Amino acid sequence: MKIIVTGGAGFIGSHIVDAYLERGHEVHVFDDLSTGQTANLNPKAKLHQVDIAERGAATRLEQIKPEILCHHAAQMDVRHSVADPTFDARVNILGFVNLLEAGKNSGLKKVIFASSGGAVYGEQETFPAAEDHVTRPASPYGVSKRAGELYLSYYHQAFGLPYTALRYANVYGPRQSTQGEAGVVAIFLSMLLQGKTPVINGDGRQTRDYVYVDDVVAANIAALQADFVGEVNIGTGVETNVLEIFGNLREALGSTTEAQHGPAKPGEQRRSCIDARHAAQVLGWGAKIPLGEGLRRTAHWYRNSLSQ
């Protein structure tokens, strides 16, 4: 199949590009390289350095005529979305609609959309949260992800365009950026390997559902062929707090560095965990990499990456 992966030079997108290419698909990458890295790019993929909110991106999509749009390009910094919601909406809402319009006009067969389990549910009422949990986004970023899902529902109803919106838990693994709104795993590993003292926000007992990037890639492969239309959680259903993550990473690196505790982030969710049982039914998917193994693999990659 001919597939466009937006954000294909980024953390999650680049792993998906690799997997699609390995399975013989023709892959085009749309990325403005504002956060994506050329080092992540698979040379077998065709890079189109475009801004998804510009007409040029729509024109390029219409020329390529992909069968699948796998959309991972995003303004993904929650704090930046709060500081500049207009920019967040330009990229995450207007940019996505720009591509959907182009796809509608050029024979697009399906959209796979990277959504966010933590951000669209907001402060949860039940743990883990299933797909029918109330959506109450607590940031413009979360609002934009939910808006993307609603636009997909509209395009499906109005034009028959199938879609699968994957509501990711906290994804971690090799290639994750250590800059900006980076994941805590990447930040801790970077600091420990550089001999710096990591800072844990608050008491460190805030929990997240951590899912390894290879498992996320498997969900994007499953979504290519699945008939399911709608939103589906991609996570483990297991809560892990920050103290446990830090302890696991110290052990993986053989480090004796202690973390310091700083003030809690204002407005940070205390708990976040999603129920992914529906994914087994509609995608035949389930997380396979245990947290300890995933953290060891990630630590090994960062150790090698930072030593080069």
Residue positions counted in the chain:
308
Cβ distance 260 to 198 under 8 Å? yes
Query: In one letter, which amino acid is 51?
Result: D
Q: How many CB atoms lie under 10 A from the CB of residue 277?
A: 12
163 carries an active-site annotation: no
Catalytic residue among 20, 121, 141, 212: 141
11: Cα separation from own chain's centroid: 8
Cβ distance 14 to 20 under 8 Å? no
Smallest CA-to-CA distance from 145 within 168, 167, 170, 115 is with 115
Query: In one letter, which amino acid is 221?
Result: I
Whether residue 66 is preceded by a cis peptide bond, meaning omega within 30 degrees of 0, is: no
Helix runs in the chain, H state only = 11-22, 55-64, 78-83, 85-89, 95-104, 117-121, 140-159, 184-193, 213-225, 242-253, 277-282, 291-307
What burial class does residue 52 get, using C-beta atoms within 10 Å of its C-beta: 0-12 exposed, 13-18 middle, 19+ buried? buried
3-class secondary structure, 164: strand
Would you name the residues annotated as active-site residues? 141
